[in-house]
Structure 1
Amino acid sequence: MTTLRKLAACTALGLALGAGAAAAQDKPTIVTVVKVTGENWFTRMNQGVDAYGAEHSNVATSQVGPAKADAAQQGRIIEDLVAKNVSAIAVVPMDPSALEGVLRRAEQRGIKVITHEGDSLVNTAVDIEAFDNKAFGTRINEKLAACMGQSGKWTSFVGSLGSLTHNQWVDAGAENAKKYSGMELVAAKNESFNDANKAYEKAKEILRRYPDIKGFQGSSAIDVIGIGRAVEEAGLQDKTCVYGLGLPKDTGPYLDTGAVDEIFFWDPKDAGYVMNVVANMVLDGKEVTDGMDLGVPGYNKVSVKKGPGKGVIVQGEAWVDVDKASYKNYPF
């Protein structure tokens, strides 16, 4: 091959590679930002994010999150994504109020913002809720009250005081418990920071301070794991009632021993998938409308209402309750 022909071939190859890179850059990017990486809840969510990307070659999907549940770290990750000018950001906020500024900057840059567990957010196009949060918290507490015989001391746990949905659930639980004059809420809203060891230490502290405590209502997916461990070590499986958010495989051993009585959840995989469904719709200029089927279990007939900002809140009916007898029906 002559020098001239070699030069022409190299030029053609360079142009082809350049065109490929441009095509890759033109492909919309949807990045899901979770509360913490490594927790099984969000590992399961990542499966939904990846599944959507595998089924829709027109977009690139990925999931990121901080190494520990921290609103400031989550905010910095979003700032980096804004600087990279991704197409859409789907966020599960640790503390919604702490992210308003960076999400506003994302929207100003033309980045589409989708959120989950953040119905107070102003700077979002669509917030997706798996269900009515007040109803969910009331249901957990009603089951707890029944187990306690509607009397005795009980307490509540949250991932953090800034975790919106966690506070909505335990506030609804506290309101529900007022129906029963014999129930006494003590040391409410213990923060676990989505850490099973912290939940365990808090639960041990509560058991020492209130040796006659009968009930625990957990909110983070790992709260019941830490609480169950403390209850089991104290040999109080038959004297306490432990109810809250959890995943079947994680909580199964404590359901088997009775240290945890029942868990409530929605499938994080489905939530991750549906966030990306909606993100892609928004990128295409499509609206989510009342009664729409988003093609995901629990989101087949969503309700839509105006949010606190320019966006909307989309609500599904996706919660599940399981106990010792039924948790093995779920593979996660």
Structure 2
Amino acid sequence: MEKTTSQKIRLGLFVIIGLLIFVLATYLIGDKQKMFGKTSHLETIFDNVNGLQIGNNVRYSGVNVGTVRGIEMINDTNIKVDMIIDKDIFKHIKKDAVATIGSDGLVGSMIINILPGKGTQSPVEPGDKISSVNRIRTDDLLNTLNKTNNNAARLTENLLIITEEINDGKGTVGLLLNDAEIAKDLKETMRYLKISGRETANATKNLNRLLESMNNKDNVIGVLNDKAVANSIKTIVSNLDNSTVEINKVVTNLNKTILNIKDGKGALNYLSNDPKLVNKIDSTMTNVTESSAKLNENLEALKHNFLFRGYFRRLEREKRKEQKK
């Protein structure tokens, strides 16, 4: 059965439309994968790609700038990821930029986020390798969350046991909450503590007043704080020390003299222990007294003698002159 012209036209239109759709889809996919633009390669190393696949997006500061071109296992701890980046973006990416793996939304595919560095270094060149940071994986986060939930469950269980014991009046807290006598004693203790605190505050105030009064020169401690008084006291103490030394010397000499007297040495012992010498001294002193009296009489007689009268008168005149001067 031969096809009509209209059917052929319809078939041709369908083929043309299909080709247009194919070309448009190829262009869109190629543009998304940076297949038709000017791109260059950029590499990084991860120890875990967390499900990253070829064709996933690469973002710089939240903007899609490329795609993942290749994933190569170097060893058991290093995985090289090859990215194709738009050449126009290379001048904005510095060499201290950091690559991380994240997810596109909560349930989206994995993507590579390039975080800007401090901006102090030069831009990267095609084929350069930037550093990477491995974020916490979802599995690790879930494991940690599971442990946290288990600990929270244990804590809740223990807290429930403690609360039941407190309600039953067990333990110190239970006694405090349920025993009226202990509560009364505790209240009384707190009252005494308040009183003690008040008395302590008053004592502290009085002590502060006493310390402040020490600087007042009208009392004894204030006088002692005066530098002039302190210097005078130091001088007096120094003089007392010197006097004490001299007194000690005198006492030492006096002790030696007393010891000599006790031992029969020296004139004092001889005078005090020899009665004959004492009698001789007494008689000598008596004779000296009598001789002195007779000498005075003789001098008086000489004054009235005509031979010596002029001499004594001259002495009296000279004596009066001296007194007048």
TM range (shorter): under 0.3
TM-score (norm 1): 0.23
Question: Which fold has the larger relative contact order, with Cα–Cα distance below 8 Å and residues 6 or more apart in sequence?
Answer: 1
Q: Greater CA radius of gyration, 1 or 2? A: 2
Using the size of structure 2 for normalisation, the TM-score is 0.24
